[in-house]
Amino acid sequence: MDFSGLVGSLNRDFPCEGVEFVEWNGGLPAAKLSNPLCEALVSIHGGHVSEYAPKGSKPLLWLSGKSHFEEGKPIRGGIPVCWPWFGSAAQPAHGFARLRLWRVKSAVRNADGSNTLTLSLSEDASTLALWPHKFNLELKVCAGASLKVELKASNTGDVPFKLTGALHSYFSASDISNVEVKGLDGAQYIDTLNGSSHAQRGSVRFSAETDRLYQDTVSPCVIEDSGWGRRIVVGKEGSRSTVVWNPWVEKSRRMPDFGDEEYHSMLCIEAANAGTDVVSLNPGASHVLATSISEAP
């Protein structure tokens, strides 16, 4: 589809200092946020924060060089919105929100120099065919000295529903062997690779395929990268589960939209509602899942 008309009308309808709507990577519509505090890019396809770098810093988010940038396909990297379900037990994997074209609701320049972009998504015939519920999703992205992403899900129908999901953040790393993740010490986790349960001891390090669901975790995680001497703090709200993922060698080779060697330069820390952390929404009720990402001094 040609999005040049949409991009033109978004620039007319949402004029805002620091926000420019562009055609990005093969033509997908996106908002480029550029202000004194950071550079960021939000794809309207998927409601997806694709790039974020505080001013003067390396990008904090990772984006695959092999990603699809096509309607109907998820973007590999950045922050996919997994909703209204997490995982691949139902199809499409991780829900349909990351596959849809969202609507722009507003673009704002804040007093501190940051920008806030708000997108929304609600049911249509294609979502009702996959999941028979009326909903409204609002994704608020505030990009400044830190990145805050807030996903508000509302039940706009007249029957209760249950949902799972995640803000599936991909972080860039100097090399995965230099990375340790702090903040999960003592937490119970399910090793998704074989279903076994464990208790985390100390920080998480990576030396093989890692796919873990940490339960009852509400505190921030800190990614320490000794190669770049960098610490990224990943906070969250509305989430009691955290997913930690690196596909390592074999799974990287199996994924068409992931380079064979790219597992060296990324890891995922996901603010999730997954496993036993299921959200129930009565008609008229809302749930906010949020994550904040910043480089620690």
Quote the least distance from Cβ 75 to ligand BG6, whole Å. 9
Known catalytic membership, residue 224: no
Residue closer to ligand BG6 (CB basis): 41 or 243: 243
To which residue do tokens 């969202």 refer? 102
Q: Which helix (H) or strand (E) holds 254?
A: helix 248-254
- Residue 277 within binding range of ligand BG6, rule CB under 6 A: no
Quote the least distance from Cβ 267 to ligand BG6, whole Å. 11
- Residue 278 within binding range of ligand BG6, rule CB under 6 A: no
Residue closer to ligand BG6 (CB basis): 44 or 75: 75
Instruction: Give the one residue of 52, 96, 171, 245 binding ligand BG6; rule: CB under 6 A.
Output: 245
- Of 67, 97, 95, 62, nearest to 78 by C-alpha is 62
With CB under 6 A as the rule, give the number of residues binding ligand BG6: 9
- Residue 141 within binding range of ligand BG6, rule CB under 6 A: no
Residue 147 CA to residue 53 CA, distance in Å, equals: 9
Torsion of Cα atoms, 13 then 6 then 103 then 169, to 10°? -110
Instruction: Give the one residue of 119, 243, 267, 281 binding ligand BG6; rule: CB under 6 A.
Output: 243
Q: What angle do CA 48, 191, 293 make, to 5 degrees?
A: 35
Which residues, other chains included, contact 295 with Cβ-Cβ below 8 Å and sequence gap of 6+? Answer: 54, 57, 60, 230, 231, 232, 233
Segment 35-74, which members bind ligand BG6 (CB under 6 A)? Answer: 74
Quote the least distance from Cβ 193 to ligand BG6, whole Å. 8
Amino acid at 83: W
Residue 293 CA to residue 236 CA, distance in Å, equals: 9
- Residue 233 within binding range of ligand BG6, rule CB under 6 A: no
Residue closer to ligand BG6 (CB basis): 29 or 74: 74
- Residue 209 within binding range of ligand BG6, rule CB under 6 A: no
Residue closer to ligand BG6 (CB basis): 216 or 250: 250
- Residue 29 within binding range of ligand BG6, rule CB under 6 A: no
Known catalytic membership, residue 51: no
- Residue 94 within binding range of ligand BG6, rule CB under 6 A: yes
3-state class (DSSP) for residue 135: strand
Quote the least distance from Cβ 137 to ligand BG6, whole Å. 18
In contact, 244 and 210? CB cutoff 8 Å: yes
Distances (CA, A) of 60 to 55, 63, 146, 149: 11, 10, 10, 14
Which residues, other chains included, contact 75 with Cβ-Cβ below 8 Å and sequence gap of 6+? Answer: 43, 45, 46, 48, 50, 63, 67, 68, 69, 98
- Residue 96 within binding range of ligand BG6, rule CB under 6 A: no
Amino acid at 154: S
Segment 147-176, which members bind ligand BG6 (CB under 6 A)? Answer: 168
- Residue 77 within binding range of ligand BG6, rule CB under 6 A: no
- Of 11, 44, 8, nearest to 25 by C-alpha is 44
Segment 103-132, which members bind ligand BG6 (CB under 6 A)? Answer: none
The active-site residue out of 48, 94, 168, 295 is 168
Amino acid at 50: S
- Residue 79 within binding range of ligand BG6, rule CB under 6 A: no
Beta bridge partners of 141: 117, 149
Q: Which spans of this chain sit near ligand BG6 (rule: CB under 6 A)? A: 74, 93-94, 168, 192, 211, 243, 245, 270
Q: Hey, which residues are catalytic here?
A: 168, 270
